[in-house]
């Protein structure tokens, strides 16, 4: 077992937490929405990195080479070549496919981020005052505060899943 891989998972989880905490601290109201969006996107990317790092940690725990593992399929193929069963990988994969589980929701957030720059700008109503609206509707899923809360929930769920799966790995 490579303790550096376990540390990498912990680092990525901590980075996500730090970004989510930092989102609440912006003194300039004109930059608040942009700051919250940057913190949200950074946290989602850190959670993605934590997931990839956990797959490498899992490989190492089963004495499989972690190099080149970027997905569940990569690790499953490696385990299959050695006729190994990785029960934690099965549980991870089930969670990743479940749209109700935070790990399954992570991919939706990554897709949402990817599509943001690809959408054509919505036509706006002509403004008589030339003001830029800074307030976002509270029930709007694009509201940074809604996205930040969702990211906090993802963080807690993914962290909890990793802790649970680690218990089974290191009990022996």
pLDDT at res. 154? 97
Share of the chain above pLDDT 90, in %: 67
- DSSP secondary structure letter of residue 102: H
Lowest mean pLDDT among 48-52, 64-68, 137-141, 149-153: 137-141
- DSSP secondary structure letter of residue 128: S
Residue 74's CB is within 10 A of a number of other CB atoms, namely: 16
Burial 41-57 (b: 16+ CB within 10 A, else e): bbbbbbbbbbbbbbbbb
Task: Of 117, 96, 115, give the one whose Cα is nearest residue 106.
Answer: 96
Contact (CB, 8 A) for 151 and 45: no
- 10-33: average pLDDT: 91
Contact (CB, 8 A) for 154 and 105: yes
* pTM metric for this prediction: 0.83
């Amino acid at each position: 077992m490579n303790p550096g891989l376990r540390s990498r998972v912990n680092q990525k989880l901590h980075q996500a937490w730090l970004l989510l905490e930092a989102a609440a601290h912006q003194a300039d109201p004109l930059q608040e929405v942009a700051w919250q969006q940057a913190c949200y996107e950074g946290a989602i990317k850190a959670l993605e990195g934590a997931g990839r790092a956990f797959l490498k940690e899992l490989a190492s725990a089963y004495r499989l080479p972690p190099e080149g593992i970027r997905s569940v399929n990569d690790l499953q193929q490696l385990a299959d070549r050695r006729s190994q069963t990785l029960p934690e990988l099965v549980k991870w994969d089930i969670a990743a496919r479940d749209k109700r589980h935070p790990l399954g929701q992570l991919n939706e957030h990554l897709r949402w981020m990817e599509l943001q720059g690809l959408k054509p700008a919505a036509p706006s109503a002509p403004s008589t005052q030339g003001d830029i609206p800074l307030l976002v509707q509270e029930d709007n899923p694009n509201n940074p505060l809604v996205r930040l809360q969702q990211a906090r929930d993802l963080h807690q769920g993914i962290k909890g899943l990793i802790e649970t799966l680690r218990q089974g790995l290191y009990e022996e």
